[in-house]
Structure 1
Amino acid sequence: MERIRQFFSAILAGMMIGMGGTVYLSQGNPVVGSFLFAVGLFTVVVFQLHLYTGKIGYLAFQKPVYLLELLITWAGNFCGTYLVAFMVRNSRIYESMAEKVQNIAAVKLQDEFFSLFLLAVFCGMLMFIAVDVFRNQSGSTIRTIGVFVPVMVFILSGFEHVIANMFYFSLAGVWSGHCLAAVVVMTLGNSVGGLLIPVYLRIFRQREA
């Protein structure tokens, strides 16, 4: 039953990221769009939903069985983003963002895998920062800023977020073997980036203590 709950929580998290991607695509101003996109992650952390890029960093502090939870989370996130993409594609708002999402998907799929990996590492670091600040800091202001600013930074910088890209690829209708490989590479990059700070804390903070 717990695994089923995790899966549905992950679907909801994927839907939140998909809705964030939708509002981002609807905006002409990238700063405004990136700010509104962050509502998706803010919803995830407030309701403690399962988002892969928000949970991967805590692998450093968990038992190996946590890997199964991460796998379930990744699959649920994909289902959630695909569901939102399907809904948007079959609504009146898709026409206004079709060209934009096609261009976004094309840029990502024309990039080298090593480049995608490096950009995903940066995003993974920012996502861990956002989630960990919300979890461990006190005060609503710092917690809110801690979520919104890292999201805006990764979007405006062009860093790669695998769950957001699942949504963009689904909305653009460009799934292929190459696209799936790109998603795997970005998953690895987000994972490495998300683990950098936690591994440092696990190793060096323990020694200092």
Structure 2
Amino acid sequence: MSYVTPAELATKMIDAGEAKIFMSTRDTVIRAYMAGAILALAAAFAITITVQTGEPLAGAMLFPVGFCMLYLLGFDLLTGVFTLAPLALIDKRPGVRLRSVLRNWSLVFVGNFAGALTVALMMAVIFTYAFSTGPNDVGQAIGKIGESRTVGYADHGAAGMLTLFIRGVLCNWMVSTGVVAAMMSTSVSGKVIGMWMPIMVFFYMGFEHSIVNMYLFPSGLMLGGDFSIADYFIWNEIPTLVGNLVGGLTFVGLTVYATHARTAATRRRPGSPAPARPEVARAAK
């Protein structure tokens, strides 16, 4: 069967987190760079579909193609390592320390940002004929997204900040569910189906994804969006990062770990025999 049981899945998640922590700096940055670039292209693709069709669901249904490509190629998003890397620390894997987890997060952040920024510049060139004309319809839409999801939150003060944070939490709940769902199958088709559904949910619902935003907001600034770099970091990227960390680790990583890697004692039904003690079981052999 291509299905991986939850207990096996929990072990795979811990192993994956450990592998990412001990990966070389070069490989970590390259894989993160490519992940950020591919996800940025997928975001540009989805927005183009939405603008040209006038149907946001169409863009959301096709956006996961980028996520599937980067996952199957073994590239890393910060949202995924937020969920997986801490599990190796919690499981007390040899050599795993908090500083090694933070090192992994930092390198993936840099790589994701560089990849997304590269695509943002390339797409801005396309949308403006190398900045010789005003942005086309898709470029204008990206600029408006940047405004509404920075100063739009700021207009609501603390309530806007809380809304932004919760959207970040819900986003990585779905995205990390996609990462984990891909591990539940050993077939390519099973992995793609498992990833596609939660990724589509996050995109259509307008939840905040820190790496998608690494493309949208720098691109929006290049395309004439009426907000600043400070607006982007304070009223989007930083709260989104925190929300993504909380959502992925709390609702996906720790829940799977707690109930499948470190299960509670089984409750014995009345009248059933007590389980043999380990030393008795060994003697019986």
TM-score bucket of the superposed structures, by smaller chain: over 0.9
- The Cα offsets for residues 94-121 of structure 1, whole Å up to 9 and x where unpaired, read as 5231221112111211112211110010
Are the structure 2 counterparts of residues 107 and 92 from structure 1 closer, same or farther at C-alpha, using a change threshold of 3 Å?
A: closer
Distance 2:127 2:170 in 1: 35
Does structure 2 conserve the Cα–Cα contact (< 8 Å) formed by 1:59 and 1:67?
A: no
Alignment partner of 1:183 is 2:237: yes
1:72-83 to structure 2, matched below 5 A, reads 72-83=107-118
Cα deviation for residue 175 of structure 1 reads 4.5
Q: Show the counterpart of 2:183.
A: 135
Distance 1:7 1:89 in 2: 24
Distance 1:138 1:30 in 2: 32
- The Cα offsets for residues 119-144 of structure 1, whole Å up to 9 and x where unpaired, read as 01001111111011112323433321
Alignment partner of 1:202 is 2:257: yes
Alignment partner of 1:96 is 2:160: no
Alignment partner of 1:24 is 2:46: yes
Number of residues paired by the alignment? 209
Q: What TM-score, normalized by structure 1, do the two folds share?
A: 0.93
Structure 2, unmatched stretches of 5+, are 1-22, 89-95, 129-134, 154-159, 222-226, 266-285
Distance 1:207 1:131 in 2: 22
Q: Show the counterpart of 2:119.
A: 84
Q: Which amino acid aligns with 1:26?
A: T
Distance 2:29 2:206 in 1: 29
Structure 1, unmatched stretches of 5+, are none
Does structure 1 conserve the Cα–Cα contact (< 8 Å) formed by 2:127 and 2:139?
A: no
- The Cα offsets for residues 70-113 of structure 1, whole Å up to 9 and x where unpaired, read as 11101111111110010011115752312211121112111122
Distance 1:200 1:147 in 2: 19
Identity level (%): 23
- Which of these two proteins has the greater Rg computed from alpha carbons? 2
Distance 2:163 2:238 in 1: 13
Larger RCO (alpha carbons 8 Å, 6+ apart): 1
**Hey, which of these two has a bigger chunk of helix by percent?**
1
Report the RMSD for the aligned CA atoms in angstroms.
1.8
Q: Which amino acid aligns with 2:74?
A: Q
Q: Show the counterpart of 2:7.
A: none
